[in-house]
Chain A
Amino acid sequence: MSSSLSSSSSSSEDANGNSGRRGVGDFGAPSLTRRRANNEIWPGPFVEDLVVQVAIDASCSFGRLAVAAALANVFQVCSTWQAVSRSDPLWHRLTTVIWGRTHRMHASWREEYVYRHQTAQNFRAGRSFYHTLHFDPASVDNPDGLTCRCLTLSDTHLACGFADGTVRLFDLSTRQLVGTFHPHHRDRFGRFSRAVSGIVISDPRIIFATLDGDIHVAIIDGEPLARTAHLGNVVNDGALVDFTGCGRWWVGLYAGVPGRALHIWDGNTEELAFVNTNLTDPEAVMGWHTLTELTETIGRVRVTGQESAVACTSLRYMVVDLRNPEFPLHDREWRRRLTVTSLDTNGEAFIMVDNRGLAIVRRVDTLEEVCRFNTRNVNVMGCMNLGYALMCAAGVVRVWEIEHGQHLYSLNQNVEEVNAMVADDRHVAAAGSDTGIHLWDFGAQ
């Protein structure tokens, strides 16, 4: 609405404010007096804000899947209100607020919203397509090269890191192997010093780190030999037990040298920005062992959508603001031991399971509890996305929704001895001790 107010006086000679006469210079503002039908008077931007507010209210009361129905009620009121549903910027706002999506993968934002809604429905109902991803085992000389250690998903690819330093990249739409990457050769400090600790996909780059602290960068459609962006120093820093990040930040969790547990790099300049914390000091000795033998997982670190990171060991967890890491946002010890392999984050919350099998989902910023549920298993490998948590124990993957912590179903396929598991809002992937990588696609068709 763009009626401007003129600063000259006009001659609308109403004694009271309730006449319908419009004076000279009046434009744009509709008559305020009578109340016939109130169809025309709703300002477009106001109705758009109203729709967003209705969406937020429905999401808080009933959950994300109920938003669409609440919006449909609003659109069916009259054609003026229906008109705002044609506004793609409105659907952009709704998709961002409800589904946390900032990139559009479909032709319009409305289609993107519908797709995310239907995909979330599929997660709710347990409808998915299952695939196994394969690569040729004959191409691998070192038997360690068959053990997948970590997985990372993007919108288009799944990256798998193996114990011999190889990273294999699969295209999610064709499910074919589209890239194999190796780090530069260098002296090894032990059998597993070249094992991949973590991968970050930041189109067009793929960044992966090995246990000896080297960080390698490759281009997704480019050469198999990755460039070494950061040369690790095992003696100074210890072993890099977990590595994660987003486009903007890379975060590494080390164990072995006191006081150097968390390293943060600027993802754009590739420069080290921060080194500190004693999170993994108790596990220092174990940290050294990871270089030469298979050990239990010492620590895990994951980033959130709010430029923060959550890191944990079995005794303690920390939340750190990546822009301001000197003062951790939260630093807690836990009464019971934590299952390190259960830690995961979505855009706004993180999940952890303790040694009694109790899983708790908390908001990252306030640590406010979102829900809790009993996984009835201590040794779980966990992952989560915006609305659901998946826990793998004894070969079975069970799914909970995390608005109320209700158990939904178990996936049909068995995953023996799972080493790594990852989920985003469309796919779930798990790698066990066999050569196939399990992939579930919940995307709407």
Chain B
Amino acid sequence: MGSTSTKIKLRTSDQKVFEVEKAVAVQSQTIKYIYENGCPDSVIHVHSVSGDILSKILDYCKKHVNSAAGKEDISPEELYEWDANFVKVDQNTLFDLILAANCLKIESLLDLTCQTVANMIKGKRPEEIRTTFNIKNDYTIEAEEAVRRENKWAFDMLGGVGTMVIEELADDTMSKCVTNAKSRVCVIAANQIVMMRSISKLANKKSIDVYKQPQNPTTPRIKESVKQINVGTGFIELFFHFKCKM
């Protein structure tokens, strides 16, 4: 009797039953454990996963199993693209996938969803992250201040000779210094690094105007911040003064 097509039955929280090949189902470490330690013929009840989500997850597992086994002719780049499309879903579905992958212990899907969420977070301030994921700010004012203080060291990143840090950029922010050296400037607005610039080519000037126009805004975050500067303050005058050795 060939064991190549052993099937496992899975019943979801909404009473849908799925019959899948063992090789696909045991991509889930949880299902694998239950299958190997329980009676292999009975139905495995997947309580916390709905039929729709399990169906998607099984598609994912099948794709990866087939590609690894060579059953499907798909290059690593194509599989990567397939994965990228797989997670292009609405947020509710994404959450359901995360929870299900966590519950079912599917490492590769956890990595994929983790990277997806990380990409969604990139460049966002805490308020924006909350909006994106509908997370309530459950800090009291004191607690929030305490957390900010606890993490202050992270923003002291470029202080020192040759660097200017502007914190809490707001309308009408002006800082004046005079420099005679190569320097860098880091603009931090609302705890988010929005710009880092070297002024190395202007080393010999005594006073420098910067940020009238960004040189190369690389992310939407930077553009918006510059807009603030332009609209609110016109431009920022920055003169730097350091004791800097060449």
Using CB atoms and an 8 Å cutoff, list the residues of chain A in contact with chain B. Answer: 1, 3-10, 12-18, 23, 25-26, 28-30, 32, 35, 37-39, 41, 43, 45-46, 49-50, 53-54, 57, 61-62, 65-66, 68-69, 71-82, 114, 117-118, 121-122, 124-127, 406-410, 412
Contact = CB atoms under 8 A, between A and B. Distances in A.
B15 interface: yes
A121 B160 contact: yes
A142 B9 CA distance: 84
Contacts of A71: 151, 154
Interface of B: 11-16, 30-31, 34, 38-39, 42-48, 50-52, 92, 95-96, 98-99, 102-103, 110-111, 113-115, 117-119, 121-122, 124-126, 129-130, 133-139, 143-144, 147-148, 151, 153-163, 182, 188, 191-193, 196, 198, 200, 244-246
B48 A32 contact: yes
25 contacts: A1-B102, A3-B47, A5-B44, A7-B43, A9-B11, A29-B48, A32-B50, A35-B92, A37-B136, A49-B114, A53-B115, A54-B121, A57-B122, A68-B157, A71-B151, A72-B151, A73-B129, A74-B126, A77-B135, A77-B137, A79-B139, A117-B157, A122-B160, A126-B162, A127-B160
Contact of B12 (A6, A17, A408): A17
Contact of B52 (A8, A9, A17): A17
Contact of A50 (B15, B44, B114, B188): B114
Q: What are the 8 A-B residue pairs with the smallest beta carbon separation, nearest first?
A: A125-B160, A29-B48, A68-B154, A17-B14, A17-B50, A37-B136, A72-B151, A53-B118
Contacts of B160: 121-122, 124-127
B198 A12 contact: no
Given A49-B114, A73-B124, A125-B159, A78 B154 contact: no
A73 B125 contact: yes
A65 B158 contact: yes
Contacts of A406: 198, 200
Given A32-B48, A68-B157, A76 B118 contact: no
A39 B139 CA distance: 12
Given A17-B52, A76-B151, A46 B98 contact: yes
B47 A25 contact: yes
A76 B126 contact: yes
Residue among B114, B130, B246 with most chain A CB within 10 A: B114
A79 B138 contact: yes
A242 B89 CA distance: 58
Given A17-B12, A29-B47, A410-B245, A125 B163 contact: yes
B134 A72 contact: no
A77 B191 contact: no
A81 B138 CA distance: 11
B190 to A, nearest CB: 10
B12 to A, nearest CB: 7
A4 B34 CA distance: 9
Nearest to B154: A68
Nearest to A121: B157
Contacts of A118: 153
A41 to B, nearest CB: 7
B172 to A, nearest CB: 24
